[in-house]
Amino acid sequence: MEKETVKEDEDVKESVKAYIDNLNPLEKIAYDIAVARLKTSFDIEKSIGFKSKKST
């Protein structure tokens, strides 16, 4: 069970990294602002953009 959780965490981290790497310049600016302003309140995994990319 613990190994599955670690694997899922790694998969999510890879998905987040791939998502951020594929943002266009305007989306990257918006992402940077969200991270800077919202700090720990910002969760990319809960963002609309990440959820929609993940479901496609």
Q: Where are the domains of the chain?
A: 2-55
pLDDT tens across 12-28, in order?
999 999 999 999 999 99
Q: Which residue has the higher pLDDT, 11 or 56?
A: 11
Read off the amino acid at residue 1: M
Place of tokens 């720990």: 40
d(CA 47, CA 45): 6
Residue 1's pLDDT is what? 54
Residue 42's pLDDT is what? 95
**Tally of residues, the chain:** 56
2-21 helix and 48-55 helix, angle to the nearest 10 degrees: 110
